[in-house]
Structure formats: C-alpha cells, structure tokens
Amino acid sequence: IGPILASTSCKFRIPLTYPDKVLSGAKVSKIEKDRFTMNYIVVSTKLERVAAEGEGLIVAYNYRENKKITIPQKMRDRIMNIEKSTGSAHIK
C-alpha cells in the first residue's frame, strides 16, 4: 500500500538559463477519501521570479491487489503533520 501518481501538470512561466539556481517547494493543498493534490513551484534566484508551477494528483494504491484504496489514517496523519510543521496547515 502506498501512493501512486495519477496525473501531473506544469505551467512554465519563464525560461531558465545557465548559470541560475532554483528553489523548489511542494505542499499538499487538498486531501480527499482516496487521493490528495500537491502543488509545486520553482523559483529562479537570479531573476527572483516564479519559473514554473505544477500540480500532481496522488492516489492511495494497493499494489498487491492493483486497485485504489481509501487513504490509510496513518498516511493521512503523516501528511497533516508534515504540512503543519512547514506552515502549510490550510489543507481542504
């Protein structure tokens, strides 16, 4: 039992060029019965602008039975604890 990426998308806002350094971040923005949504951001330190934004839909999955499942409470609690510790406790 674990997560599986069901879909992902990315919007590229500006091109990045060498030499540049980027900062990236991720947060869980929504948790449902059997899935959660993560949002991603990539920021150019040279340009001080958002270079890309993305989203991923992650589903709880039973790999032995090859089917989606309800997110186990232990996994849900871990997600909430990580988000709270990073200041992202606004999950829907």
Give the total number of structural domains in the chain. Answer: 1
- 70 belongs to a structural domain: yes
Say which CATH number the domain at 39 has. Answer: 3.10.129.10
CA 56 vs. chain centroid, Å, equals: 6
Looking at residue 74, what is its pLDDT? 93
Q: pLDDT at residue 91 above 80?
A: no
- The model carries a pTM of 0.82
Buried b (16+ CB within 10 A) or exposed e, 21-48: eeeeeebbeebeeebbbbebbbbbeeee
- 32 belongs to a structural domain: yes
- 46 belongs to a structural domain: yes
- 91 belongs to a structural domain: no
Write the pLDDT tens digit of every residue in 25-77.
Answer: 999 999 999 999 999 999 999 999 999 999 999 999 999 999 999 999 999 99
- 43 belongs to a structural domain: yes
Q: How far apart are CA 12 and CA 86, in angstroms?
A: 25
- 44 belongs to a structural domain: yes
**Strand ranges (E), the chain:** 2-12, 22-31, 35-44, 49-62, 67-68
Domain of 15 in residue numbering reads as: 2-85
